[in-house]
Chains A and B, each alone.
Chain A
Amino acid sequence: MLEKTGRDAKPVDLAKWSETAPRYSETKRMISVFAGRPLPVIGFVIIALLILVAIFAPFLAPYPPNQMDIINKLQPPNTTHLLGTDSLGRDTLSRIIYGSRTSLIIGISVIAISSAVGIALGLFAAYFGGVIYHVIMRFMDALMAFPMLLLALLVASLLGAGMKNIIIALGIGMIAAPCRLMCGVVLSVKQNDYVMSARAMGMSNLRLMLQEILPNAFPPLLVMITIGLGAVILAEAGLSFLGIGITPPTATWGGMVNDGYKFVMTSPVLAISPGIAIMLVVFGFNMLGDGLRDALDPKLRGVI
C-alpha cells in the first residue's frame, strides 16, 4: 500500500481510497460477460419461457391436459391438434405444456431439499474436521457409488410412486454433489485471515459459518444448482419413462415418451415431441449454468 518505495515513502491515505468509487462495477462486468455471448442468452430465454409456460399453462394449453376424446385418438398433427392426440385422444401439445409444471416442481423441490441438506453437511464436515469430516465424507463417497437412477428406483420401490416420493428419491441421490462442493470451499476458505479474525472476535461457530464462509461458496453453488436442475429433470423423465415416477394421468414428459413408445410405428410424434421438450429445457439449464460460471469466475476477468 505504498505509493513510492524508498526513504521518503508516505503511507497512502486509506480514508480517501475507500471513498472513491471502484473503477468499474463487478455486476456490470458479469452481466456483459453473460449477455455478450449467444448460448447463455439462449439458455436464459428458454428457462424464462419454461417458467412462463408453467405458470400460465391453463391459458396457453388449447385443451385440458386430461380431456379424453376416444373418437379422435392417435391423430397425426393437424390444425385442431397441433401435435396430434395420444392413444386416449388427449391433446399432445396441451400435455407437454402441463408437463412443464411437473418438471419444474420436481426440479426445484429436489434441488432445494438436496442442496439444503448437502450444504449443511458439507459445511459441518469441513468446518469441524476430524471424525465428523471423515464420517460425513465417507458416507457421501458411498452415496456417490449408487447411480442416481438406481437409488431412486430403490427408494421409489419401497415408498411407491407419486410426486412426494419421487422428490425424496431423487433428493437423496443429489445430496453428495453440493456436500462435496461445500466441503472443498470451506476447507480452502477457513484458512483465511478474516475467518480467524472473526473467530478472535468471539463469533459463534454457526454465525461464522453462515456469515463468513457460506457466501464464498455462492458462485459455484449457483452454477451447480442451475445445472443440477437440468440433471434432475432428466432423471425424473427417466423414472417416469420406467413407469415408477409420477402416477398417471398427471402429464409428465418422461411418461409421455413411454406412452408414445408403444405407437412409435404409427405416430412417432407422440414419443418425439415430449423428448424435444426435455432436451430444450435441459439445454437451457446447462447453457445458463455455463454462462453463470464464466460470468462469476474472477479468473476469467478480461479473458472473455
Chain B
Amino acid sequence: MTSYIIRRILMGVIIIFLVTVMVFLFIRLLPGDPLTIYLNKTDMQQLTEEQLFELRVKFGLEKTLPAQYIDWLGGLFTGDFGRSIYYDIDVGLLVRERLPVTLYLGALAFIISGVLGLSFGVICALRRGTWIDTLVTLLANIGITMPSFWVGIILIYLLAVKAGWLPVSGFTSPFTDFWKSTRQIIMPVTCLALFPIASLTRLTRSSMLEVIQQDYIRTAWSKGLRERLIISRHTIKNALIPVVTVIGLQVAFIFGGSVLIETVFNINGIGRLMTQAVQNQDYLIVQAGTLIIAIMVVLSNLTVDISYGWLDPRIRYD
C-alpha cells in the first residue's frame, strides 16, 4: 500500500508539472506578441521600439523559453502570478479573493450530486423495470442533455421572476448573512449539480445491474444471506468501484460549469473573473485561474486514486 501511495503521488507531481508546462506554453506559443500578456494593446501602440525592447528585457521575454518557464515557475512558488493589466492589482490577490466563492458552491454541488446520484442509481437498479426506475432513468437521460446555463435562466424566470421565492442573482458570504446566502445559492448549486447527479445516476444504475448478474451474487443468495446484506456488502460495494473513478471527472465538470453559472447568476467567483478576463484580454488571470483549477482537479484525482487503492485491493498490485 505504501509503495502504491508513493507511486501515485509521484505520478501526481509529474502531472502537475506537465499542467504547468502546458499552461505556460499555451500562452507563449500561440500567435501574438507575448508582451500583450503584461501590457494593454492600446498602451503598446504608443511606445517606441526602444521602450518596447526595454519592457521585454524587464519582463524577461528576451530569454529562451525554458529560462522564461523557470522564471515563471519560480514566481509561482512565491505566490507571484503577475499583475493584472485590467485591474492593475496582483493576480494572486484577485484569485485568493474569488476562489473561495467558487469552492464553496462547487463543494456543495459535489456533495449533493454524490449523495443523490448514488442513491438514485441504486434505487433504480434495485427496482428495475418499475415506474420509479423508468421515471428516474428518463429524468437522468434528460438531465445530461440540458445546458446548465439555460436551466439557470429558466429557474430564474420561474422561481425568482414569476413566483418571487428566491432572489434573482448575487452572492453573499454565508458568514455575513447565512439565511440570505442560502437563498441565493439554491439555484446556482442546483444548476451545477444537475449534470453530475444525472450522469452519476446513469452510471451507478448500469454498474449495479452488471454486478447483480455476477455469479458471486447468486452464490450469496444461495448461501441464504439476508437481502440487506447482499445489497449493501456484495452489490453496492462492488458496483461503486467504476463510479468512484469518474468522481475526478465530476470535479473538473463542476469547475467548468461554474464559469457559466457564475455568469448567469452574477456571482463573483473565479469562473466569472476568468470570463471577464478573456474579454479584457487579461491573460495572466486566465493563466492563473486555469492553472489553479487544473491543479485542484489533479489533487482530487490523486485523493480518489489513493482511497480507491484502499477500497479495492486489486488496484494496488498493478
Q: Given contacts A150-B289, A241-B260, A264-B161, is CB(A145)–CB(B301) below 8 Å?
A: yes
Q: How many residues on chain A are close to B (CB under 8 Å)? A: 46
Q: Are A287 and B150 in contact (CB under 8 A)?
A: no
Contacts of B275 in A (CB 8 A): 153, 242, 244
State the CA gap A280–B283 with chains docked (Å): 36
Interface residue A212 (Cβ < 8 Å from any Cβ of B): no
Interface residue B31 (Cβ < 8 Å from any Cβ of A): yes
Main secondary structure of the interface of A (DSSP, over half): helix
Contacts of A147 in B (CB 8 A): 252-253, 255-256, 259, 293, 297
Interface string of A120-162 (1 = CB under 8 A from B): 0000000000000000001101111111111101111111000
Interface residue A171 (Cβ < 8 Å from any Cβ of B): no
B205 to chain A, nearest CB (A): 12
Q: Are B144 and A286 in contact (CB under 8 A)?
A: yes
Interface residue B211 (Cβ < 8 Å from any Cβ of A): no
Q: Are A138 and B149 in contact (CB under 8 A)?
A: no
Q: Which of B14, B26, B141, B289 contacts A286 (CB 8 A)?
A: B141
State the CA gap A175–B18 with chains docked (Å): 16
Q: Are B32 and A158 in contact (CB under 8 A)?
A: yes
Q: Given contacts A145-B294, A157-B281, is CB(A234)–CB(B147) below 8 Å?
A: yes
Interface residue A228 (Cβ < 8 Å from any Cβ of B): no
Q: Which residue of chain A has the shortest Cβ distance to B296 in the bound complex?
A: A145
Q: Are B290 and A254 in contact (CB under 8 A)?
A: no
Interface residue A271 (Cβ < 8 Å from any Cβ of B): yes
Interface residue B286 (Cβ < 8 Å from any Cβ of A): yes
Interface window among B75-83, B152-160, B215-223: B152-160
Interface residue A230 (Cβ < 8 Å from any Cβ of B): yes
Interface residue A58 (Cβ < 8 Å from any Cβ of B): no
Q: Are B294 and A146 in contact (CB under 8 A)?
A: yes
Interface residue B264 (Cβ < 8 Å from any Cβ of A): yes
Q: Given contacts A257-B153, A265-B161, is CB(A148)–CB(B256) below 8 Å?
A: yes
Q: How many residues on chain B are close to A (CB under 8 Å)? A: 52
Contacts of B244 in A (CB 8 A): none
State the CA gap A261–B157 with chains docked (Å): 10
B196 to chain A, nearest CB (A): 13
Q: Which residue of chain B has the shortest Cβ distance to A143 in the bound complex?
A: B22
Q: Which residue of chain B has the shortest Cβ distance to A159 in the bound complex?
A: B30
State the CA gap A279–B30 with chains docked (Å): 34
Q: Are B154 and A242 in contact (CB under 8 A)?
A: no
Contacts of B260 in A (CB 8 A): 149, 238, 241-242
Q: Are B294 and A153 in contact (CB under 8 A)?
A: no
State the CA gap A298–B274 with chains docked (Å): 46
Interface residue B111 (Cβ < 8 Å from any Cβ of A): no
State the CA gap A287–B260 with chains docked (Å): 25
Contacts of A184 in B (CB 8 A): none
Q: Which of B141, B153, B274 contacts A150 (CB 8 A)?
A: B274
Q: Are B141 and A261 in contact (CB under 8 A)?
A: no
User: Which of the listed residues A151, A156, A260 has the most CB atoms from chain B within 10 Å of its own CB?
Assistant: A151
Q: Are A158 and B161 in contact (CB under 8 A)?
A: no
Contacts of B240 in A (CB 8 A): none
User: Which of the listed residues A139, A154, A157 has the most CB atoms from chain B within 10 Å of its own CB?
Assistant: A157
A146 to chain B, nearest CB (A): 5
User: Which of the listed residues A146, A237, A286 has the most CB atoms from chain B within 10 Å of its own CB?
Assistant: A146
Interface residue B243 (Cβ < 8 Å from any Cβ of A): no
State the CA gap A157–B27 with chains docked (Å): 10
Q: In A215-240, which residues have CB < 8 Å from any B CB?
A: 230, 234, 237-238
Would you list 15 pairs from A and B whose C-beta atoms are within 8 A, ordered by A residue? A142-B15, A142-B22, A143-B22, A144-B252, A150-B259, A150-B274, A158-B26, A158-B283, A159-B31, A238-B147, A260-B153, A275-B150, A275-B153, A279-B145, A283-B142
Interfacial residues, chain B to chain A (CB-CB below 8 A): 11, 14-15, 18-19, 22-23, 26-27, 30-32, 141-142, 144-147, 149-150, 153-154, 156-157, 161, 249, 252-253, 255-257, 259-260, 263-264, 274-275, 277-279, 281, 283, 286-287, 289-290, 293-295, 297-298, 301
